[in-house]
Amino acid sequence: MVDRSTDEALIERIHSGDAMAEHELYRGHHGYALRVAIARGAQLSDAEDFVQEAFIRILGYLRRGNRPTGSFRPYLSAAVRNAAADAHRRGSSREYPCPDAGVLLAASTQSAPHDEVEARAVLHGALRDLPVSTREMLWLLDVEGYSIAYVADASGVSAPTLAARASRARRAARRAIARAD
């Protein structure tokens, strides 16, 4: 995970016109932004486009002397989601057969190929029924490894509320997987 103080220092350098700071900010967060786009259902080629569009918007915003309120990553996540939504509204993105590709990739096992395909299908079915915001929350907690406190702060909810939501979401996913077996 990229350090928040590092992000703030990079943003200060961007405000002063340092192009290398823009590159460092991009390089430090590109993988995360790509995972956000894929977790929302984008195919890799579209995910790259959404990430590029998000960074173009953000860097323009930062060059004008503005800054995100709070941490950079939640701001970046919102920019990626907005770029994807804009592309969808324009009709320039494709429909995705697997809206949880990133989660499925992260959850794959070292089993036989046919077992893995079956496990992915069951996991996909269980996650598909969860709201997008819930899938994103689980992604940040269980795949990205962020703490409850960090995700709660970024989401604008209390840590106990987020912990309860995560527990209910995991329970719902487990029940859906059990029904599929």
Do 118 and 162 belong together in one domain?
Answer: yes
Do 16 and 73 belong together in one domain?
Answer: yes
Do 86 and 115 belong together in one domain?
Answer: no
For 117-170, what is the HEC assignment?
HHHHHHHHHHHHCCCHHHHHHHHHHHHCCCCHHHHHHHHCCCHHHHHHHHHHHH
**Does 113 fall in a domain?**
yes
- Look at the chain and report how many structural domains it folds into: 2
Do 19 and 50 belong together in one domain?
Answer: yes
Cα distance between the two ends of the chain: 36
Residue located via tokens 């195919």? 43
- Asked if 4 contacts 59 with a C-beta cutoff of 8 angstroms, the reply is no
**Does 21 fall in a domain?**
yes
Q: What is the pLDDT along the chain (181 residues), one digit of tens a residue?
A: 456 678 999 999 999 999 999 999 999 999 889 888 887 777 777 888 899 999 999 999 999 999 888 889 888 999 998 888 887 777 654 444 444 444 444 544 344 455 556 666 777 777 777 788 888 888 778 777 778 888 888 888 888 888 888 888 888 877 777 776 5
- Asked if 39 contacts 136 with a C-beta cutoff of 8 angstroms, the reply is yes
- In angstroms, the CA 42 to CA 84 distance is 8
**Does 27 fall in a domain?**
yes
Do 110 and 175 belong together in one domain?
Answer: yes
Do 12 and 73 belong together in one domain?
Answer: yes
- In angstroms, the CA 59 to CA 61 distance is 5
Q: How is 16-71 classified by DSSP, letter by letter?
A: TT-HHHHHHHHHHHHHHHHHHHHHTT--HHHHHHHHHHHHHHHHHHHHTT---SS-
**Does 67 fall in a domain?**
yes
Candidates 2, 91, 89, 80; CA nearest to 41 is: 80
**What SS3 state is found at 83?**
helix
**Does 48 fall in a domain?**
yes
**Does 95 fall in a domain?**
no
- Asked if 61 contacts 87 with a C-beta cutoff of 8 angstroms, the reply is no
Of 71, 90, 109, the residue at which a domain comes to its end is 90
* Domain housing 139: 101-180
Do 76 and 23 belong together in one domain?
Answer: yes
Of 42, 61, 90, the residue at which a domain comes to its end is 90
**Does 158 fall in a domain?**
yes
Q: What pLDDT is recorded for position 15?
A: 92
Candidates 31, 29, 59; CA nearest to 44 is: 31
Of 90, 122, 153, the residue at which a domain comes to its end is 90
